Amino acid sequence: MRKSTFLLPAAFLLFSVFLLAGCISSPPAEDTRNPFPTVSAAPYRNVFHMQPVQDMAELDGKLYILGGDSKGSSIYQYVDDKIAPKKVFELGYRNNSDPRFKGESLEMNSLAVYGGRLYAAGMPGLFALRQDGSWEDLNYQVPGQLTANRAEIGRIKVLGGELQAAIYYPVSVHESGSILYNGSIAKLAGTAWQVLPGNFDYPISTPISDLEVAGGKLYVAEDSYKVYQYVTEGTPSFKNLVGGSSTDGNYANLYQFIRLGSDGQELYACGKGSKIYRFAGSSWQLLHEVANRCAFFKSVDGVLYVGTNGYGKTSGQPTLPSEVGLFRIAGGKVEQVATVPINNSKPVLQSVTSIAKHGGELIVGSDWGDLYKVRDGKLEKMEFYKD
């Protein structure tokens, strides 16, 4: 009996030790410190951004998006609303040492569909999409060009059924060692550029930024201050249409980064002077003021659209909602299609840089590398995520 009496207290002590050590489970006491149930955090998803969108074009039911800056360019193929656009072309970034470009700007600026092919152009030259999905470098020569250097392209457009380019090509080397360029308009003729004959009223000192046809006449914008009309009567020439001062009857405050557009008959222009003009035969008519400048003019289904760059007003005044966003020109008037929210006197979306119609909807690109759908007078952001 003495032996069994000793074992009972020992067993009780051992049970208590195991209980304290947690080896024997017991119902947990209610925790009143956090009355809310624990919710698992949503998994983090990497938001997908493209490079600043420069242009968009549709070929065979597929939407292609050109993005780029001075360090490189990429072309993306839009898949659908849920899948991030697929990169199908890249120039620069990982291959900056490419000997073809010798440290030049690798920024592409425009897309065009011509002859059933998609073309991309910019400072590095001209490229075309092959049937197998690869890209061909079309380093076509311009008559009189220095063959050691590539021609730069300020913009390509299909005008009058032909692929035409605002081209800036090297012609000689100055005694200082700098390269001298000529600027003109060239048509793609087989495997070469055919430059339009004729000289400019003033020597071209900056690249040509845009070209357009209105009322059957060709117009050209120099990157700074001037717009020219190509005159074919007599000796072909490029005639300047912009006066040099506000006292001139044909003056227009276009300044830099000039863009041209047409509704088929009328010519429109806008630059960093923050104003949209219509060319009225011999003078410029002011239609609308924008925050900074226009990023593009582009016709979609016969409607001419204008996108603005809202990086602060040149006057330094607060930006107004009526000065930024997406616009269209109808009946000689500028109408706002979609607004951009203003926060602390600055637009939330800085620039509407391009437009295309895909799947029955208008899609615009931005300089932040995002895409938006135009719905009910607003820009609805399309969210994409990395895999």
Distance CA 221, CA 210 (A): 5
Residue 6 is predicted with a pLDDT of: 44
At 240, list the tokens.
């300047």
Q: What percentage of residues in the chain have a pLDDT greater than 70?
A: 80
Mean pLDDT lowest among 64-68, 151-155, 209-213, 311-315: 311-315
Pair 295, 309: CB distance under 8 Å: yes
Q: How many helices (H) and strands (E) does the chain have?
A: 1, 31
pLDDT at 15 over 70: no
Q: Does residue 209 or residue 149 have the better pLDDT?
A: 209
Mean pLDDT lowest among 131-135, 215-219, 347-351: 347-351
pLDDT at 314 over 60: no
Residue 165 is predicted with a pLDDT of: 96
Average pLDDT estimate for 155-180: 90
Residue 72 is predicted with a pLDDT of: 86
Pair 297, 287: CB distance under 8 Å: no
Backbone phi, psi, residue 249, to 5° = -65, -25
Mean pLDDT (the chain) is: 83
Average pLDDT estimate for 22-26: 44
- pLDDT, tens digit, for every residue of 185-201? 999 999 889 999 998 87
pLDDT at 45 over 80: no
Average pLDDT estimate for 299-316: 82
- pLDDT, tens digit, for every residue of 232-264? 999 999 999 998 788 888 888 898 889 999 999
Q: Does residue 284 or residue 51 have the better pLDDT?
A: 284
- pLDDT, tens digit, for every residue of 66-82? 998 878 899 999 988 88
Distance CA 328, CA 330 (A): 6
pLDDT at 120 over 80: yes
Q: Does residue 384 or residue 350 have the better pLDDT?
A: 384
Residue 44 is predicted with a pLDDT of: 52
Distance CA 22, CA 146 (A): 85
Residue 8 is predicted with a pLDDT of: 44
Strand order through the sheet with 199-200: 199-200, 237-240, 227-231, 217-222, 208-214
pLDDT at 7 over 90: no
